[in-house]
Amino acid sequence: MLFPETISKILNVKYPVLQAPMFGVSTPEMTVAASKSGCLGSLALADLSAEKSVELIQKTKNMTDQSFAVNIFVHQIPEITETLKQQYFKAKEFIENLAYENNIKADLPELENLKINSYHELIDAIIDENCKILSFTFGNLDQKSIGKLKENGTILIGTCTSVEEALELEKSGIDIICVQGIEAGGHRGSFVSENIPQIGGFSLLSNVYDSVKNPLIYAGGIYNGKTLKAAQQLGAQGFQVGSLLLASQESALLDFEKERLKNVNEKDIVLTKGFSGRYARGIKNKFIETIENSEYILPYPYQNKLTGEMRRIAKTMKNDEFVNLWVGQSIHQFSEDSTEKILMKLILDYNKLT
C-alpha cells in the first residue's frame, strides 16, 4: 500500500495523517509531536478568545518550525431570549444541586457573566499569525471570512457529517472536506441540522466521495493499519486520528482519566448532549445518565459554559462521574507512548499491508 499524495502535497507533510484537534485533550506539545512524525499536528483553539488563541499559536511556533493546522468552532450563537433565561436558571439550579449531592461544591456562572466568543474575532488573529492551514467544525465559514482567508493563502478544511453538508462545503469553496463518521469520538461536526441521521463512517465516506470533487479526509474509528487502509479504499486521501492519542504522553488527560480508558467497553460509549448542548461521543457516567433527555440541557455554547466549572472541580477531585471523557467506538489499547511514536506505529502498521 502507498499513501495517496494529494493531501500530503497540499498540506506539505510526509504522511496524509492528521492529529485530531480534541480541545481539552490536545496540547501544543501534542501538536509538535505529531509534526515530528511527519504527520500534520493540529492546535485546538475552539471558541477561545483571540488573545488566548494568539498565545497558544505563538507557543506552538516557538516549539517547532513545521507547519500545523489551527482548528476553530464555527457555531451559531443562539439569541438570549426570556425563554432561554428561564431555562438557564432552571438548569443552573438543577446541576448545582446534583453536583452538591455528589460532594462537588460548584458555583456555576450566571447567564449575564458568561463570555461567549464568536469565531469571527479569531479570523483576523489567524491571518495576523500567518497560519496557513485552518480546519473548522460545527458549521461553515461565512463568505467574507472565506475570502479573507483565501487572500492570505490559508488552506481551509471543513467538517461534514452528511452528504448535504459536504455539498455545502464544496459550494462554498472549501479546499478539503473532513468526513466524520458517527463512530468518531468527541463532538459531532453537524451543522445543517441537529437531526442528521447517524450515518456509519464508511457508508458516509463512500457517498461523499461519489458526490463531491474535493480531496477527503476521513475521521472516525481509525486505530490501526487495517482501518486506515479501509478508509483509503473508500476514497479517503487523508486520515484523522484522535482517540488513538488520548492516553499519549502529550495528552492533557490526567492519570485517573487515562485509567478509565483502560477499562472502557462498548456498552460504555454513548452520544450525549449533557455536558455541552451538542452531541458528543464519550464514556457514559452518572452526570450523563442523570441529565440526558431531561429539560436541563441548554443549546451550545450555554450548556458548555454552564457545566465548565463543575467539570473543572470534578477533575481536581479525580471524580470521573462528572467529567466529560470523549472517546470513539473503536476500543483498543490506549498507548501511553509519545504522540510521535503512536503515529509512527500506525504508519508502520499500514506499510506492512500488501
* Strand, coil or helix: 155: strand
Lowest-pLDDT range, 2-16, 20-34, 193-207, 282-296? 193-207
Predicted pLDDT of residue 150: 97
- In this structure, the strands spanning 238-241 and 41-46 are unpaired
CA dihedral angle for residue 332, residue 335, residue 339, residue 342, rounded to 10 degrees: -70
Predicted pLDDT of residue 198: 85
Contact, 104 vs 322, CB < 8 A? yes
Half-sphere exposure of 36 (CA within 13 A, CB side): 15
Predicted pLDDT of residue 193: 79
Tens digits of per-residue pLDDT, 103-127? 999 999 999 999 999 999 999 999 9
Whether 254 has a pLDDT exceeding 70, the answer reads yes
Q: Region 184-188: what's the mean pLDDT?
A: 96
φ/ψ (deg, to 5) at 138? 80, 0
309: exposed, middle or buried (Cβ count in 10 Å: 0-12, 13-18, 19+): middle
**Which domains does the chain carry?**
1-77+117-248 (3.20.20.70)
Predicted pLDDT of residue 354: 64
| Residue whose C-alpha is closest to residue 190's, from 211, 216, 169 | 169
Give the amino acid at 94: F
Whether 195 has a pLDDT exceeding 80, the answer reads no
Q: Region 236-260: what's the mean pLDDT?
A: 98
CA angle 272, 276, 281 (to 5 degrees): 35
Judge if the upstream peptide bond of residue 16 is cis by omega within 30 degrees of 0: no
Tens digits of per-residue pLDDT, 22-66? 999 999 999 999 999 999 999 999 999 999 999 999 999 999 999
Q: pTM of the entire structure? A: 0.96
Contact, 286 vs 321, CB < 8 A? yes
Predicted pLDDT of residue 115: 92
CA angle 203, 292, 78 (to 5 degrees): 80
Predicted pLDDT of residue 293: 84
**Given pLDDT bands bounded at 50, 70 and 90, which one contains residue 1?**
low
Whether 194 has a pLDDT exceeding 80, the answer reads no
Half-sphere exposure of 39 (CA within 13 A, CB side): 27
Predicted pLDDT of residue 20: 98
Position with higher pLDDT, 2 vs 87: 87
What gap in Å lies between CA 130 and CA 18, rounded to an integer? Answer: 20
Q: Region 90-96: what's the mean pLDDT?
A: 98
Q: In 107-200, where does DSSP find H-type helix?
A: 120-128, 143-151, 163-172
